[in-house]
Amino acid sequence: MLRKVLHGVGVLWGTLTLVFLLFAFAPDPARQFAGQNESEETVEAIRMKLGLDQPMYQRYATFLSGLFPIGLCNSRLVWTGLDLGNSYVSDRPVVDAISDALPATVLLAITAMGIAMALGLCIGFGLAMMPGSTLDRWVLGIAALGMSAPSFVMAILVSWLFGSVLHYWTGLPMTGGLWVVHPFQGPELSWSNLILPSLTLGIRPLAVVIQLTRNSAVDVLNMSFVRTARSKGISSFRLLTHHVVRNAIGPVLTSASGWFASMLAGAVFVEYVFGWRGMGMLMFRALEQSDLPVVLGCVTVVATTFAAVNVVVDFAYGWLDPRVRLSSAR
C-alpha cells in the first residue's frame, strides 16, 4: 500500500513539474495584458504585480508550497489551506474559482460515468453469453463508432438533434447550466440541462466499457473452472453473477477509473458546446485569456484526481482478484 501511494505521489509531482515548466516557457503574459504599444516600464510593473519577475526556481518553490495545506507557524503545525495563486485577469484566488466550478463538472462526470458503467456492464455481460451472434457483431460495431467519435463532434450533433430537431418531443434545451436564473423566483436548479451533456460525455466510455466487459467475460467463460461449474449444472445466471463478474470486472474497473479522471479535463469541449458552467468552461476561458494560474490550478486538480483514483483502483483491484495481492506480496 505504501509503495502504491508513493508511486502515485511521484507521478503527481512529475506531472505538475512538467506542466509548470511548460507554462514557465510560455510567451510573456505581461506583454499581452499591457498591449504591444505600452512602454517597457508598464510591462515590468505588470510583471512585478503578477510575480513573473522572480526567478523560476522561486516561482516553482512557491507553487509547490501552495499545494501543502499545512505550514509552520511559531514552531507549530497550522492549517493554511491550499494556495494556487490569484487569477491574472480577475485577481481572484484560483482556489475560489475552482471551488465554484468544480462541483458542476464532478456532477457531470459522475452522471456520465454512471450511465456508461450501468449500460456498459449490462450490455457487455449480455453479449458475452452470445459471442459471435448477429447482435454481438452489430453492437460491437456501433461501439467502435462511438469510441472513435470526437467529443466535440458528438456534442454538436446531440445538441442539435435532441435540443433543436426533436425539442418538441424531448423538451430538452440545447444549452444551459445546472443553475438558471428565474426572472421572479431567482436562481433554481435545472436538472434537465444535465441530460444531454452527460449523455454526450458518456458515449465514449460506454463504448469502451461494452467492449472490455464483453471481451473479459468471454475470456473468463473459457476458463477451466467455469467449464467445471457448467458440468455441475449451475445455471447461466448463477454462473455469471457468482463466477464471471468478479473475475472479469478488473480490467473494466481500471479503464473506468482512467476515464472518470479524464472526464474532468475532457469535459472542456462538451461544457463549452452545452454552456455548462463547470471547470471545463473555466479552463477554456482561462486558456483564451492566457490566465495561466487558473489553467495550472485546473491541471493540478485533474492530475491529483488521476493519481488518487489510480491508487484507490489498485487497492480495489487487489480486493477483487486475490492473485494480484499474492503477486504484489512476492
Q: Report yes or no on 298 lying in a domain.
A: yes
Q: 30 vs 139, which has greater pLDDT?
A: 139
**The last residue of a domain, from among 49, 79, 109:** 79
* 177: confidence class by pLDDT, cuts 50, 70, 90: confident
Residues 27 and 137 in one domain: no
The Cα-based distances of 37 to 31, 41, 46, 65, 142 in angstroms read 9, 12, 14, 36, 55
Q: Is residue 87 part of a domain?
A: no
Residue of 214, 210, 219, 299 whose CA lies nearest to 256: 210
Q: The C-alpha cell of 240 is what?
A: 455469471
Given a cut of 70, whether residue 140 has pLDDT beyond it is: yes
- Does 39 lie in the same domain as 180? no
72 and 167 within one domain: no
pLDDT at position 329 over 60: no
User: What local confidence, expressed as pLDDT, does residue 90 receive?
Assistant: 83
106: domain CATH number is 1.10.3720.10
Which three cell numbers mark 76? 507549530
Task: Give the confidence band of 92 by pLDDT, cuts at 50, 70, 90.
Answer: confident
69 with 132, same domain: the answer is no
Residue type, 199: L
Residue 328 has pLDDT above 60, yes or no: no
The predicted pLDDT at position 156 comes to 87
pLDDT > 70 in the chain, percent: 88
> Residue 317's pLDDT is what?
65
219 plus 322 within the same structural domain: yes
pLDDT value for 40: 75
With H, G, I as helix, E, B as strand and everything else as coil, classify residue 159.
helix
Q: 161: which 3 cell numbers? A: 438533434
Are residues 268 and 167 part of one domain? yes
Asked if residues 155 and 197 have their Cβ atoms less than 8 Å apart, the reply is yes
Using the CB atoms, write b or e for 206-215: b if 16+ within 10 Å: bbbbbbbbbb
pLDDT on residue 78: 67
Helix, strand, coil percent content, the chain, rounded in steps of 5: 75, 5, 20
pLDDT tens sequence across 236-259? 677 777 777 777 777 787 777 777
Q: What is the pLDDT of residues 252-307, one digit of tens each?
A: 877 777 777 777 766 778 888 888 888 888 888 888 887 888 888 888 888 888 87
Q: How far is CA 294 from CA 4, 35, 58, 102, 108, in A?
A: 29, 21, 19, 12, 20
The segment with the largest mean pLDDT, out of 24-33, 67-76, 92-101, is 92-101
Of the three residues 79, 112, 142, the one that is the final residue of a domain is 79
Please tell me the total count of domains within the chain: 2
Pair 273, 222 in one domain:
yes
**Mean of the pLDDT values across residues 128-153?**
84
User: Does 145 have pLDDT greater than 60?
Assistant: yes
Spatial separation of the C-alpha atoms in residues 38 and 153, rounded to whole Å: 41
Domain identity same for 275 and 127? yes
Mean pLDDT taken over the chain: 80
Q: Are the C-beta atoms of residues 88 and 292 closer than 8 Å to each other?
A: yes
Q: Which of 79, 108, 135 is the last residue of a domain?
A: 79
Please indicate, yes or no, if residue 104 is contained in any of the structural domains: yes
- For residues 193 and 320, membership in a common domain is answered with yes
Strands 186-189 and 70-73: unpaired
Residue 158 has pLDDT above 80, yes or no: yes
- Judged against a pLDDT cut of 60, whether residue 325 lies above it is answered with no
| 75, 109: one domain | no
Which residue type occupies 200? T
**pLDDT per residue over 29-73, tens digit each?**
777 777 666 677 787 887 888 777 888 888 888 888 888 777 666
- pLDDT confidence of 3, banded at 50, 70, 90? confident
Tell me, yes or no, whether 312 lies in a domain. yes
Is 84 inside any structural domain? Answer: no
- Strand segments, DSSP code E, in the chain are 70-73, 76-79, 179-182, 186-189
Which of 38-47, 68-77, 136-145, 198-207 shows the lowest mean pLDDT across its residues? 68-77
pLDDT of residue 216: 85
How many whole angstroms separate alpha carbon 306 and alpha carbon 139? 30
Q: Are residues 115 and 174 in the same domain?
A: yes
- Is 56 among the domain residues? yes
**What is the extent of the structural domain holding 148?**
94-329
pLDDT digits (tens, 9 = 90+) for 106-122: 888 889 889 888 998 88
Instruction: Kindly state whether residue 88 falls inside one of the protein's structural domains.
Output: no
Question: Same domain for 173 and 30?
Answer: no
- Residue 89 in any domain: the answer is no
- What is the model's pLDDT at position 75? 67
